[in-house]
Structure 1
Amino acid sequence: MSLSDSDLRAAIRREMPGVRADLERLVRIPGIAFEGFDHSHVERSAEAVAELLRGCGLDTAIVRHGGQPAVIGRKAAPAGAPTVLLYAHHDVQPAGDPSLWTSDPFEPVERDGRLYGRGAADDKAGVMAHVAALRAFGDQLPVGVVVFVEGEEEYGSDSLDTIIQEHLEELRSDVIVIADSGNWDIGRPALTTSLRGLVNLFAEVRVLKSAVHSGMFGGPVPDALITLSRLLASLHDDDGEVAVEGLVGREGAGVDYPADRFRNEAGVLDGVQLIGRGTITDRIWTKPAISVLGIDAPRTLEAANALQPAATAKIGVRLAPGQDPAAAYQAIRAHLEKHVPWGAQLEVTLESDGAPCVIDATGPVYDAARAAFRTAWDGAEPVDMGVGGSIPFIATFQELFPGAAVLVTGVEDPHSAAHGPDESLHLGEFERVCTAEALLLKNVAETLTR
């Protein structure tokens, strides 16, 4: 006998205390895939995820192909039923300066209905949403599942394409649920239907053979930091609009994002003007954006009275849907070479790139997802939204599994502060996310079972 919507809601409610306890155990593992961190914690994190999936009755293995460990768990579909791939990642961003956190980033703490800790939202709650749905069904799961939990998403997913290719048949599915995005607001669910792409690069300028006395030579010599500053300033016009020829964008995102809400959620200080032109949603979803992510230069407390011979900036470029990353990199490189001032030597190096994606969220599977959201959120109508961030491997899934419906969901809300200090998860919304995923599996089974 199949479980009803009310059965599943009750089952999720029953499972939530255990799901939260297991989430807190995962948050305590500082699984950071970045260079310079102890990767034994990533191993521990993978083992913990594998144990959770085995506890759900899945045939589970830890796999790797040159990078950090991923976990694949499988349970075969009942006769005629579809298979659903459930994706999340178990690695997390570095915590940064611990003094900026209200509490220990790797000791989960509840405050005002939110659970604080690195990875509490991004994306260990995504892992646990999958686990919660599986636990709610127990041995009455109406679909086949493949749970794929990556171990280096925050560090660029360098080995992911290889893992997917090596395990292509194991991962083949009718529906793909990627739990690594968010919802429109607390109380308002969303499907993510577009994501920007990404190009990260380094630009180094050199003007001197070595540092020289700023008094003896300052004036005629263009020091490297002034040179780099002028070069970086050329990336935007006076309104803050991206000024790189060849970067594409479009308007008409179609969802209203009030500027005062955006300023509040971004933490923009009073008096600071927003830059660029067009609606907020156009500027963060469908147009390119360029940011300076870091500069290699002497720290102010250690800076001598000397002209710096070289300076390097790391530049992050978010690409609008429809932009080819290779073409975008060439456009940025050409712009920098054209605008480098005063004949300074310039070296531009690509660090990484990733393709944007657009999802046509029409058809019976998407209808099934929206129905699940409405039930879980007590009738709230889900929003189709874009995301300014990047999940480049979605394009890989689209290419390798062209017949699969890709659903991008998530646990975050606008106050989650993913990647920042005091990252947190709204516990009430988390239960709704878990409920929605269980209902989604039920609805997909009813829609696609032959």
Structure 2
Amino acid sequence: MSPHPVAETVASLMPRAKAELTELVAFRSVADFDQFPRSENEGAANWIAGALRAEGFEDVALLDTPDGTQSVYGCLPGPEGAKTVLLYAHYDVQPPLDAASWTTPPFELTERDGRWYGRGTADCKGGVLMHLLALRALKANGGVPVRVKVIVEGSEEQGTGGLERYAEAHPELLTADTIVIGDTGNFRAGLPTVTSTLRGMTMVRIRVDTLEGNLHSGQFGGAAPDALAALIRVLDSLRAEDGSTTVDGLSGDAAWDGLAYDDEQFRQDAKVLDGVELIGSGTVADRVWARPAVTVLGIDCPPVVGATPSVQATARALVSLRVPPGVDAAGASRLLEAHLAAHTPWGARVSTEQVGQGQAFRADTTSPAYRAMADAMAVAYPGQKMQYAGQGGSIPLCSTLATLYPDAEILLIGLSEPEAQIHAVNESVSPDELERLSVAEALFLRAYAAS
């Protein structure tokens, strides 16, 4: 059987896509302006705005969102009476972590072993290219049959809610019949997958104070209350003996009824060291898609190198709590803060500050848009049937869009399959996945227009 014309077009556009992704990855667009220049984010935003204008988008604008970042918006007119589809991605990326641990520089796209490496290649600058490839392929094969809106935000990774608050203040801007969120990924490379649920999240900063200042551990240790030891104790209270998350008042026994996640496959995907046990109870899918999960993201304390023999007066930590659909993130945040306060030992002074929050999401997989996507993925991935999986991560905008536009259908696809190692060192994208998903998105837009 000869290749589909849309697939042939996308294949021919891949060298251009690689060159463009190289340019986009070069922007150090981490939305943490204390560590990375704001100009890097502005550069990425302007690059995307220019790409949209080159494709014939109208009303292209850089939207100043309430958290101090910019989102890029544009609208591509469609045939009269055509449906409207909103395509989403984000250009902000995670910090590179330890740049020295990368095999190649994090902000230089590098091809190695059939993959393209660099921060943001999969999460989510590659998603920007996926949308562009799909639209270019349709334009080369009869035209784009729907009206298309594109929104690319600049603060998704920070969880600061800039685009969510902007959308709430301008609800007419992102109205659409269906929304394609290009920020998840296949269950594994080569297996077409839509994400049907997302966990919500809250991030809380905790501070423990016990003394007016540090003390000599020889002179005062043993009786003086150690803030770092107190913090370690309260953080330990967030896990049961088997590693399950334990937040007072928060249920943790839900079950996942969709695609199974084999223990050994998970160990390989997560690169768990030999002999180290998985934590928690229930199936892996239960634990990563249907139940709450707490993670200590960072601790402020003296580093080992240069540490002095002192009893610490103050210690801080940043804690993330993921919650499944059906659990209100704001309510979970209150439970977490109450738990931290209740489990702080020795009467130590404890304070908490919420620094990010987003609601969970569950899609309606019975809608016409999902049927159109299933047909499109069957062409892009011959011999494979579209699967439904959960996503342990959060995309706060999804719940906002679902609330603002309850009649809109929302689909989640993307390039962050397990080998991509998003948020870790040596993040990469599979060009085969980029090519196939671009074909799938193009064919979806065509099929959805006719549905």
Q: TM-score, normalising length from structure 1? A: 0.96
1:246 alignment partner, one of 246, 249, 271: 249
1:371 alignment partner, one of 368, 372, 375: 375
2:361 alignment partner, one of 357, 363, 366: 357
Partner residue, 1:90: 91
Partner residue, 1:226: 229
**CA distance in structure 1 between the aligned counterparts of 2:106 and 2:421, rounded to whole angstroms:** 12
**CA distance in structure 2 between the aligned counterparts of 1:260 and 1:410, rounded to whole angstroms:** 24
Shift of 1:259: 1.2
2:202–2:322: 8 Å Cα contact kept in structure 1? yes
**CA distance in structure 1 between the aligned counterparts of 2:52 and 2:201, rounded to whole angstroms:** 32
1:255 alignment partner, one of 234, 252, 259: 259
Partner residue, 1:63: 63
2:269 alignment partner, one of 265, 270, 278: 265
SS in 1 for 2:4: helix
Number of residue equivalences: 444
Shift of 1:157: 4.5
Q: Does residue 9 in structure 1 map to residue 7 in structure 2? A: yes
Shift of 1:335: 1.6
Moved more, 327-336 or 243-252: 243-252
Q: Does residue 380 in structure 1 map to residue 404 in structure 2? A: no
Shift of 1:164: 1.7
Shift of 1:167: 4.2
Shift of 1:131: 0.4
SS in 2 for 1:410: coil
SS in 2 for 1:350: strand
Shift of 1:5: 8.5
Q: Deviations over 1:33-84 (max 9, x none)?
A: 1132101011111111111111111112222134222111112221222111
Partner residue, 2:121: 120
Partner residue, 2:409: 405
2:160–2:356: 8 Å Cα contact kept in structure 1? no
Could you tell me which amino acid in structure 2 is paired with residue 23 of structure 1?
Answer: L
Could you tell me which amino acid in structure 2 is paired with residue 299 of structure 1?
Answer: P
SS in 1 for 2:219: helix
**Structure 1 stretches (4+) deviating beyond 6 angstroms?**
none
Q: Does residue 24 in structure 1 map to residue 22 in structure 2? A: yes
**CA distance in structure 1 between the aligned counterparts of 2:153 and 2:352, rounded to whole angstroms:** 31
2:161–2:396: 8 Å Cα contact kept in structure 1? no
Could you tell me which amino acid in structure 1 is paired with residue 156 of structure 2?
Answer: E
Q: Does residue 291 in structure 1 map to residue 265 in structure 2? A: no
**CA distance in structure 2 between the aligned counterparts of 1:106 and 1:421, rounded to whole angstroms:** 11
Could you tell me which amino acid in structure 2 is paired with residue 354 of structure 1?
Answer: G
Partner residue, 1:42: 41
Aligned-CA RMSD value: 1.5
Partner residue, 1:54: 53
Could you tell me which amino acid in structure 2 is paired with residue 231 of structure 1?
Answer: V
**CA distance in structure 1 between the aligned counterparts of 2:57 and 2:170, rounded to whole angstroms:** 16
Partner residue, 1:100: 101
**CA distance in structure 2 between the aligned counterparts of 1:435 and 1:83, rounded to whole angstroms:** 19
Shift of 1:252: 2.8
Unaligned runs of 5+ in 1: none
SS in 1 for 2:412: strand
Shift of 1:300: 1.2
Shift of 1:91: 1.5
2:160–2:355: 8 Å Cα contact kept in structure 1? no
Identity of aligned residues (%): 42
1:189–1:381: 8 Å Cα contact kept in structure 2? yes
SS in 2 for 1:254: coil
Moved more, 386-395 or 319-328: 319-328
**CA distance in structure 1 between the aligned counterparts of 2:183 and 2:204, rounded to whole angstroms:** 24
Moved more, 292-301 or 130-139: 130-139
2:372–2:448: 8 Å Cα contact kept in structure 1? yes
1:257–1:281: 8 Å Cα contact kept in structure 2? yes
**CA distance in structure 2 between the aligned counterparts of 1:355 and 1:253, rounded to whole angstroms:** 21
**CA distance in structure 2 between the aligned counterparts of 1:212 and 1:140, rounded to whole angstroms:** 72
**CA distance in structure 2 between the aligned counterparts of 1:8 and 1:256, rounded to whole angstroms:** 32
Could you tell me which amino acid in structure 2 is paired with residue 208 of structure 1?
Answer: L
**CA distance in structure 2 between the aligned counterparts of 1:170 and 1:393, rounded to whole angstroms:** 14
Shift of 1:446: 0.9
